Amino acid sequence: MKYIFTLLVLVVSTVSFSQTATSFTPEEKAYFYHIVKKSPILDQNLGRYLIYTGEDVRMPNGEVNFDSIESLIISHPEFLNFDTYTLAKAPKGILAEAANKLALWDLNNLLKAKRSKQLEKKGLEHKYQQFEEVLRGHLPSSAFKTIDGKKIINERFDNVMDPSINFRNKVTMVSAMPFLNFNEQQQVLNAIALAINTYVNNRSYEIFTQLGGEADNYQNFLIAVGDGTMSSSTFVDREKDENNRFNVALPKSSGLFPYEIQIEKKLEGKRKTTKSIEPRRTNITNIYTSGKNKATNIHVDVYGYNEEKQTTVVIERNGLSYHLFGSVDNRFLSPDSSYAGEATYYSIINALTRDIARVNDMIYGKKGYDFWIAYWEKEKAKTSLSIDKTEKKVSDFRGSTTITTSKKKKKGQSYPSVSDGGDKRREMQEKVLTLYGYYDQCKSEIKKLTLEKERAMELLSNLERKKSKSEELIGRNWASYKVKDGLYTFEDSCTFDLYTQEFWIPESAEPEAIEIRVLTIPYDYNSTDADDNMLHISVMDALPKYASKVQFAAIDLFEEKSYALEGTLFNEKDSTAMVEFFEAMLNKKLKTHTHLVAGGIGKWNGSHVEKDFQGREFDEYPTPAHRDSLSFKRLRSNEIYVNINRAINLYISSYTDPVITDFSVNNEKVNALKAKYKFTDNDVLTLFRCAQLAKQMQQEITVLANMYMSPSEAKKIIKRFNKMLKKASVDVGTVSVKLKDL
């Protein structure tokens, strides 16, 4: 009874204790709450961890009035608390998306305050200095002016950084500044792009960690591709949420997402060449996976896209391409390439394929250039031979003065006729002239067809080059996949989660090169005009099972040579996670899976403990102090994870260090298995510790379910959990021992 009372006190205090304050300003808290609640994907994954205790303000139609609630939170920031302990277990990509949104809002406020000369008034000078520090380091010297002995950035650039201005207009603005030459104009645009990406990267990471997120390797990219006009009526900006509602205060993405630039040269007339600054139509970002036996999480968040052209992202790793395609009716990507819109990247490749086939047929087909050139070559050769023969006959005629022919005068009578042969010679000479004319026509046709063939060959080469480049960008070696309930599993175990937009690369010991390509679709393959796409991509490392709702991890949980437990596994911080676990247990559609591991001797792989299959044991620690050293202590690991993602997965493990123990138990079945499979005492020790963790969790679930849920719900949860453990076995290497036998 004492045990139950202790848990009761623990749980009752949960709600207030688990809410953790952040260092957000009231405005930041209010805006963050607003953007999370307005976005279905953010609200679904993060919403319940933002605890709002103020007035529930509704509009006449019954919808929540987030504008009013935002004002209330600004006035009373205590109305909103963040459960950062549970937020930390949210999908990393989702947390990074929310952090990026707040960072963009933050930068927009800075730039707006700078343009209106209100940095000092709003207390934003220090923040703006962080942004300006990067900008100053990459601007050309001509971009500065000296006032009172200080070099300051020319204020004319403030308007260039206005998010409401598209890229084309920004180019026009800098080109109109007489103090910048062409190369300096490029430097200015590149410096602004770098400053934006650097500030948002650093600020979003700061927000990410304030929300409880953890990552040793965190990268945040803002990417824009296209022609920079943003003129299409079908362009969808993320100022609106997934339900097409306007999201107040979100900065216009067309101004804050930087383009990579390139210089294009154009020949005007015979001698004059002009240069222009153009945005790249394709963006290639090179990164590395985390290595150190950590997984890599790549989250893709589409901000701006064209409804009639398919957003296309390619991730390439070890020569294998993984494709993410847009949908016509929402911003989400998936490996499914089916599309109901007008244009896809493959429609451009297909058009090239069709035209290559057509030009090939023009050159090599049955009635192609090769056929007609060969035809006219034969005609020319035949005509040349006819000319030679006819000229010989003409020459023979010149050696004779008279020609006698038989001529009929009357019926049945013939008389000889004498003439000088002039008419016949003239006829043959005219034939020679005609043959020469036809011969010249043959040469002319051959010349014309050869020239046309050369042009066709050049066209074919250009088309094949464009197709090859397009196929290289889209990827030649496509990864196959299987899909179940929105989870795409590729042939090499990489996954993409449709519901969180996360691409997951399994852990590896060494970093691996990754290329991420964002492709835009032109109006046709000859066009330089292409509608704009804007993406936010976050990349970070992740430990296995980091997103598990229920997490328990402890070092030295047990006394030496013992598997007895004292106290409880879960405390007040786990309250929200436990409720989510219980709600999932009530969902009969979610299957349950149990994985219990007695790891025996563990080894540190750089990120977590795993089984040491070599299992070399030591008689004792090198010195008494070594027992508490990190290299030994972290191996004595005990963990419980409950992951809820399309199924309920319970994972319990226990490991120990490589020092020999003389642990033994009076259990015939276990001792028989020990003898048969040559288990060490450390194997058996972790076997019983793992079993004890499962049994202790079972006891606590019985109590907590009754406290959090209704009696009828608690009964169902307890029954289902007991059933999970009744069927469970503990893995000792390749051997499974039934939990009920321990």
- What are the per-10-residue average pLDDT scores of the chain (742 residues)? 29 36 85 91 93 92 89 95 91 96 94 94 94 96 92 94 90 95 96 97 97 95 88 51 48 76 82 87 95 95 79 94 85 80 79 94 93 94 89 73 47 49 76 88 94 95 93 94 94 95 94 95 78 92 86 93 93 92 96 96 92 91 94 96 94 96 92 93 96 96 96 97 96 94 91
312 CB-near residues (< 8 Å, 6+ apart) = 323, 324, 325, 326, 344, 345, 474, 518, 519, 521
206 CB-near residues (< 8 Å, 6+ apart) = none
pLDDT given for residue 420 in this prediction: 52
- How many Å separate Cα 99 from the centre of its chain? 17
- Encoding tokens for residue 371? 């056929």
- Encoding tokens for residue 554? 């402890």
What distance in Å separates the CA atoms of residue 403 and residue 391, rounded to the nearest whole number? 18
170 CB-near residues (< 8 Å, 6+ apart) = 160, 189
Question: Do the Cβ atoms of 256 and 503 come closer than 8 Å?
Answer: no
Hey, which residues does 268 pair with through a beta bridge? 272
pTM of this structure? 0.84
Q: CB pairs under 8 A, 24+ apart, for 424-427? A: 424/397, 425/394, 425/397, 425/398
Count of residues for the chain? 742
102 CB-near residues (< 8 Å, 6+ apart) = 28, 31, 32, 35, 204, 207
Question: Do the Cβ atoms of 598 and 587 come closer than 8 Å?
Answer: no
Kind of pairing between the strands at 272-279 and 261-268: antiparallel
- Encoding tokens for residue 293? 């036996």
Number of alpha helices (DSSP H) and beta strands (DSSP E) in the chain? 20, 28
Cβ count near 586 (within 10 Å): 14
Cα separation values, 260 from 168, 217, 255, 333, Å: 13, 24, 13, 23
What distance in Å separates the CA atoms of residue 291 and residue 296, rounded to the nearest whole number? 8
Closest CA to 671 of 684, 686, 660: 684
